[in-house]
A and B are shown apart, each in its own frame.
Chain A
């Protein structure tokens, strides 16, 4: 079977009424959490994760992926209308998107953002479809030593590209690896750091930690400025863009698709980085760079497209290598593992329903989002009218039920509360909890592959640098280093940090 036959099979999976419903629910919920400030794709996915346990694996991953790209879509709405990014990747959209709103052109800005998101998202799925299968074939020949090198490489890249100081990111990665060791040793079943508690035998609940570190800590941070969080009354008029707008947006959408796709593959803060790079590129090649920041259509279309183009390509490391490149895909990884499905090169052969069903559902999801976002934009915007003091307790209550329902254990609620407070404190002192979560997800596989490799080589450490796979990963490391150096030269890190800080203020 070739890719198209597999894709047809995927559409048969995705077009069942149940999976269509899950895709719709995911897209709808994703757009909602994307619109609401302080609830990005990660919090949206973690909150709904426990509900997916009762679904079949394909349905669960289709729904969670829908939340992921739905939040990417929805995040732009508040950036454009009220200059509040719904999620981090929409920060740059505020610059020109909100300026267009101030000029009374919010409708066309929303339409251009939706078209860019649709095109970027769709093209990246095409890329995912063509790149993933051959890469998976290569990965099937990789042994435990190369697997270990690859995962360490992923963690190291995350520490390099994170917007926070490298030493703090490294500390978070190590903390995540330690937390991953709680429970029975995966090879010998020796109890480690369980303190005699039976509930800890299976390890710390990933769901509780993720909801605590991201969902609860986000709410606690928002509670600091609760007096300033007023319900908003955004207004919308004509949605139709002018022909000149579409002409200005088209090339930016094309470039944004390519930039987003390339950056989506790189582990780390890919979706945020891609928006900054896209904005910088558009400004640099524009005949009127002075218009950027004052309502330039290309300054809105490029980053919005790049933002959504990363969603498809960020699935490549997840589905083919089993490595989540961003925390949101770590949630997808966790969902698959809970259903007994191990993402990695075998996913395409062992579970073609899930892989191709997901790809097909992403095509469908993009159409659902386009259909949802334009006519229902008024409905989503009305969510901003719900005051935060009423919203926060309900989000916490839903989180508590979700966390408890995983293992029916009050200990998980305690873990969620504890990690929420810890996450809040870490973020107050510029420690990014995202690398911690990624290390937590990868921890067991890193340890198992490390120990297996040493057993195979009879304690010879040179196994980690031998063979063609190691050379491929070293090549990948060099490529990533070059790409990161280029991004560094464009100054995205400083700009990103300053921008996020300004928006947070």
Chain B
């Protein structure tokens, strides 16, 4: 699952993303009241900062593209990282509808299986114990209000 890229390629990609963001912010801010020098409006600061970000992104892009030295390699997309990120996204989606503790229980079950590589029943037992511990500390002891969901 993991793949290797160069540091330079990553820097170019980040510079392009920042440049796109600067253009987007500049475009949105141009629709806001800019005001005057004596009374700057809500669009004044975003225009100034996004213009600066655009310049800095272009400078970064130029620097990365003109770099003569061989850049070091960077490995991305490790299986554990991808699966943890997917689990986090899934948890975000179901957190309110399924309820905090069922969602957290399933999240822990998947991560114990993926990261600790234990048997399913071990992971299930561990996830159940940890979820009970979380419920005890946060809901019972500290009284934190969390979504009950379908339960």
Contacts and interface: CB of A to CB of B under 8 A. Distances in A.
Contacts of A171: 18, 53, 56-57, 60
B104 A389 contact: no
B14 A226 contact: no
Interface of A: 50-51, 54, 167-168, 170-171, 174-175, 177-178, 181, 185, 187-188, 190, 192-193, 216, 219-220, 223-224, 226, 387, 389-390, 392-394, 396-398, 400-401, 404-405, 408, 410, 413-414, 417, 420-421, 424-426, 428-431, 447, 450-451, 454-455, 458-459, 461
A168 B33 contact: no
B134 interface: yes
Q: Which of A188, A400, A455 has the most CB of B within 10 A?
A: A400
Given A192-B42, A393-B108, A413 B92 contact: yes
Contacts, number: 163
A398 B84 contact: no
A173 to B, nearest CB: 9
Contact of B142 (A51, A413, A424): A51
A398 B128 CA distance: 15
Contact of A397 (B45, B56, B134, B142): B134
Contacts of A177: 49
Contacts of A400: 91, 95, 104, 107
Contact of B80 (A226, A405, A413, A459): A226
Nearest to A51: B142
Interface of B: 7, 10-11, 14, 18, 21, 25, 28-29, 32-33, 36-42, 44-46, 49-50, 52-53, 56-57, 59-60, 63, 74-76, 78, 80-81, 84-85, 88-89, 91-92, 95-96, 100, 104, 107-108, 111-112, 115-117, 126, 130, 134, 138, 142-147
B84 A175 contact: no
Given A178-B50, A220-B81, A429-B7, 20 more contacts: A51-B142, A167-B60, A171-B18, A171-B56, A178-B25, A187-B42, A216-B88, A220-B85, A224-B75, A226-B115, A389-B112, A394-B108, A396-B107, A397-B107, A397-B130, A401-B138, A404-B100, A410-B95, A417-B88, A450-B40
A405 B108 contact: no
24 contacts: A167-B56, A171-B18, A171-B56, A177-B49, A178-B25, A181-B46, A187-B42, A192-B29, A192-B46, A220-B85, A390-B115, A397-B134, A400-B104, A400-B107, A401-B144, A405-B145, A408-B147, A410-B96, A417-B92, A424-B81, A428-B10, A454-B38, A454-B40, A455-B38
Nearest to A420: B88
Q: Which of B49, B89, B96, B107 has the most CB of A within 10 A?
A: B49
A421 B41 CA distance: 34
Nearest to B139: A401
A428 B76 contact: yes
B88 A223 contact: no
B49 A178 contact: yes
